[in-house]
Chains A and B, each alone.
Chain A
Amino acid sequence: MFNSMSYLHLQQYWWFLIGVLAGLFVFMTFVQGGQTLLWTLGKSEEKRDLIVNALGRKWELTFTSLVMFGGALFASFPLFYATSFGGAYYVWMAILFCFIIQAVAYEYRKKPGNVFGERTYEVFLFINGSLGIILVGAALGTLFTGGNFVVNDMHLSHWTKATYGLEALLSFFNVAFGFMLFFLARLLAALYFLNAIDDEEIARRARIVLRYESGIFLLLFLYVAGSILTMKGYAYDPKTFVVHIEAMKFLHNLLAMPAVAVTLAAGIVLLLWGLGLGIFTQSDKGIWPAGIGTVLTVLALFLLLGYNHTAYYPSLADPQSSLTIQNSSGSRYTLVAMSWVSLLVPVVLGYIVLVWRSMNRTKITVEEVESDHHHY
């Protein structure tokens, strides 16, 4: 099957998988969103414990999704891995710091003798959920706005700004992208809490969050989506690979790829439906349409970025250094080998769904948390 695919189709297949992984990661950031709602929804210690334990059973999946996203990028598009991580050094390192402190916070927060106190670990969770996600969003924003790098004849890259990626935060679009993800994560968290926690007070407060913050998210989303569709993009000639700037490139991509347009529309509708269920009804099922909608929307954005002869990581310093799925990928042999491995993805998703269902069959309660010696 994969052996007979063309090199370009393999590159497109892998970009599709990267988009799916990015979508799953963004969906799973409800964990981070929930961490920022700890004090908003949890007005007593026992309620905060309940929230932390509801998230604590999922945080490793988010963490793993991020690691998997990195690993898949390394295997399939190593030039992006080298160029962006090695160039936008400060931004990626700051993101990693935000995730390091998350990894210990759940386990150490309530443990006696934790040296720094419960509140410190809660602050760690807040930093991970806020700064971590805003920075991830800003980094993703640079896929549209570009980075300051040059790739030489030997495909070795260097950054041209001494701020090593921090300059991305001067772009209003990138920052708006970051805050959009931040609010999306909070909304998904509120929907997740409705689905996973049996507590009236937390449910009531979660619906208030949905009511007020959906508007902020939608404003940011409209700005970001509008900017993407009207901004210039970096296109390349499929024969000569020469990069040129094209006005409204992403709008052209959307019109040229109806399947992507349908995916984007379906994603947005499902996301809004999920939010609507949480705001206008007493349903606790909003997380599912909103989650699927998130995955589809992010996937569609990635397809707009990488397909239709588009540079998915434009170079502001030297447009001809811009990265495309064709000039930054692994070799044909490696993509074929990894494509066979990718057939495991449905198996992995299958057991995650099964485990999720058995663990969330009944909602988590204060009593359950208090009766467990190992609770977070």
Chain B
Amino acid sequence: MHIDPSLVEWSRAQFALTALYHWLFVPLTLGLTFLVAIMETIYVKTGDEWWKKTTRFWMGLLAINFAIGLATGIIMEFEFGTNWSNYSWIVGDIFGAPLAIEGLMAFFMESTFFAVMFFGWDKVSKRMHLLSTWLVAIGSNLSALWILVANGWMQHPVGIRFNPDTARNEMVDFWAVLFNPNAYSKFLHTISSGYVLASLFVISISAWYLLRRRDIQFAKRSIMVAASFGLIVSLFNVTTGDDSARHVAQDQPMKLAAMEGLYEGKSGAEIVTFGILNPSKKVGDKQEPFLVKVAIPEGLSLLSYHRVDAYVPGIRELVYGSKEHGILSVAEKMKRGKEAVAALAAYKAAKKAGDTAQMAAAKKRFEANSAYLGYGYLKTPLQAVPSVPTTFYAFHTMVGLGTWFVLLFIVILYFTMTDTLERHRKWLWAALFSLPLGYVAQEAGWITAEVGRQPWAIQDMLPVGMATSNIVTSPVMITFWLFAILFTALLIAEVKIMTTQIKLGPVELKEDSHV
């Protein structure tokens, strides 16, 4: 089946556009639901109405964000069908299950109790309301769990078998899919990054109030909750990031090499903390990969394999192979993959003809090479290399900003506890401007994960070029631009509404003070 390369690129662009927009809103929901649940818990424990009104203010901002998150989210589920219909058949037997479970276990919980959380203050008891708020938080995080079970499976497919009769991968071990270690490290890293963003959101807005010398008590108390939460979750985020990177090292060595700009593999590989890539560097040539770099010797080996002398393969070895380290070249994998593709076609033809002997022979040939089936659809070995600059810079941006957030939370929490925050206006400005950086870090993390695994829709199994729908390019181009216009317009509205609400401030608290 011939697939137009421009269709693949437009389909990728549309999915990337949708995901980038969706990911602007989801992390804040993941974290802010917990923060408002914590604030409401303080209200229920203390009976202090002040905390109720504070909770309601942050809840109002959450609702604005939540709505647009839903709007962008519905598209993503259906795009697997509309834009990736081959994918939907080839791996739908596994991939559809977590999406369905997400709907049943998480979305209904979120949507049912969301209504109670927002409109049930006077309709249900105080404890029932608190329970609803926590269930919204748990529901939104459960949703992330199932999505990342699905995404983790794409990065590290387990629990499956290719069935030549149906020409698709079929699930043979649900528990392996569910407890895929790759998925859990991604899940924990993703939700903790959402908690970090939510903490930055509360601190940043509160810092703005302090800079404007208004709503002082509200801002200070909000910062106390957010900075405490933020420090804990940002440290947790560092540990989950480390765990996630080790899974990348084991399951997706090409992605790790791209993240680190590691062209030549070595034992005791250094980790680059800052670097500028040499734009003319090609895989296999003798040029230096970096124009400038700051590196920690043996750091990459240590972090990836917990041994300073561990061997970390580079892009060159992963493409051209290394007998010494038992790495097959991509060319060899492509050869075996093409053998698998041909055997599968022979099997189907023999089955149609009712030739059982040929079927058995073709099946045997297929099974001997089926592990490399996906490579059979690649055109050149270098296609197996993702964009190194995009992956490298995105990864280092994420890590650099993540480190800055830990420092920020420590300093802000210290100043808050010593009640000196208002005097440190430079730190208040730093807190204010860290919010956009939080969004940059979120998107950078997503780009690292998704660009770094190209060309694979399913790691080593299904390249994106084979996963698209069999349609012409123009409908995808049209919907791409429609989405771009619509999402941008909605984003503008969202930001304007959000900033207007922030400028208005916690109105209910002000009404209280007038009384």
Is B64's CB within 8 Å of the partner chain A?
A: yes
Q: Which of B248-256, B270-278, B314-322, B501-509 contacts A (4 or more CB under 8 A)?
A: B501-509
Contact B67 A115 (CB under 8 A): no
Q: Which residue of A lies closest to B97 (CB)?
A: A75
- Inside 8 A of B224's CB, which chain A residues have their CB? none
- Inside 8 A of B383's CB, which chain A residues have their CB? none
Contact A89 B97 (CB under 8 A): no
Q: Which of A100-108, A188-196, A212-220 contacts B (4 or more CB under 8 A)?
A: A100-108
The B-contacting residues of A in range 71-87, CB under 8 angstroms, are: 71-76, 78-79, 81-87
Q: Which residue of B lies closest to A120 (CB)?
A: B493
Q: Which of A1-9, A291-299, A330-338 contacts B (4 or more CB under 8 A)?
A: A330-338
Distance (whole angstroms) from the CB of A346 to the closest CB of chain B: 11
Contact A330 B92 (CB under 8 A): yes
The A-contacting residues of B in range 39-64, CB under 8 angstroms, are: 56, 59-60, 63-64
Contact B82 A358 (CB under 8 A): no
- Inside 8 A of B486's CB, which chain A residues have their CB? 97, 100-101
Q: Which of A197-205, A224-232, A265-273, A348-356 contacts B (4 or more CB under 8 A)?
A: A348-356
Q: Which of B161-169, B391-399, B418-426, B448-456 contacts A (4 or more CB under 8 A)?
A: B161-169
Mask for B272-294, Cβ within 8 A of A = 1, else 0? Answer: 00000000000000000000000
- Inside 8 A of A45's CB, which chain B residues have their CB? none
The A-contacting residues of B in range 440-459, CB under 8 angstroms, are: none
- Inside 8 A of B497's CB, which chain A residues have their CB? 108, 111-115
Taking a contact as CB atoms closer than 8 A, the residue among B80, B116, B120 that contacts A74 in the complex is: B80
Contact B85 A157 (CB under 8 A): yes
Contact B85 A97 (CB under 8 A): no
Interface size class of A (residues with CB under 8 A): 35 or more
Mask for B119-145, Cβ within 8 A of A = 1, else 0? Answer: 110011000100010000000000000
Chain B contributes a number of interface residues (CB within 8 A of A) equal to 87
Task: Determine the distance from Cα of A330 to Cα of B94 in the docked complex, in whole angstroms.
Answer: 9
Contact B103 A372 (CB under 8 A): no
Known contacts A64-B108, A153-B348; A331 and B93 CB within 8 A of each other: yes
Known contacts A84-B81, A86-B85; A348 and B493 CB within 8 A of each other: no
Q: How many A-B residue pairs have CB under 8 A?
A: 275
Known contacts A81-B92, A82-B92; A63 and B82 CB within 8 A of each other: no
Contact A164 B475 (CB under 8 A): yes
Is A169's CB within 8 Å of the partner chain B?
A: no
Task: Determine the distance from Cα of A155 to Cα of B497 in the docked complex, in whole angstroms.
Answer: 47
Distance (whole angstroms) from the CB of B464 to the closest CB of chain A: 15
Q: Which residue of A lies closest to B119 (CB)?
A: A57
Task: Determine the distance from Cα of A162 to Cα of B473 in the docked complex, in whole angstroms.
Answer: 11
- Inside 8 A of B89's CB, which chain A residues have their CB? 78-79, 82, 155-157
Taking a contact as CB atoms closer than 8 A, the residue among A61, A153, A373 that contacts B56 in the complex is: A373
Is B77's CB within 8 Å of the partner chain A?
A: yes
Contact B101 A341 (CB under 8 A): yes
- Inside 8 A of B232's CB, which chain A residues have their CB? none
Contact B170 A333 (CB under 8 A): yes
Q: List 10 A-B contacts (CB under 8 A).
A: A53-B119, A89-B479, A104-B494, A107-B67, A108-B494, A108-B497, A113-B500, A154-B348, A331-B166, A334-B97
Please give 8 more A-B residue pairs, beta carbons under 8 A apart, in addition to A72-B100, A113-B499, A337-B171: A72-B103, A74-B92, A86-B471, A104-B71, A111-B500, A114-B496, A331-B166, A358-B123
Partner-B contacts on A (CB < 8 A): 53, 56-58, 60-61, 63-64, 66-68, 70-76, 78-79, 81-87, 89-90, 92-93, 96-97, 99-101, 103-104, 106-108, 111-116, 152-159, 162, 164, 330-331, 333-334, 337-338, 341-342, 344-345, 348, 351-352, 355, 358-359, 361-362, 372-374
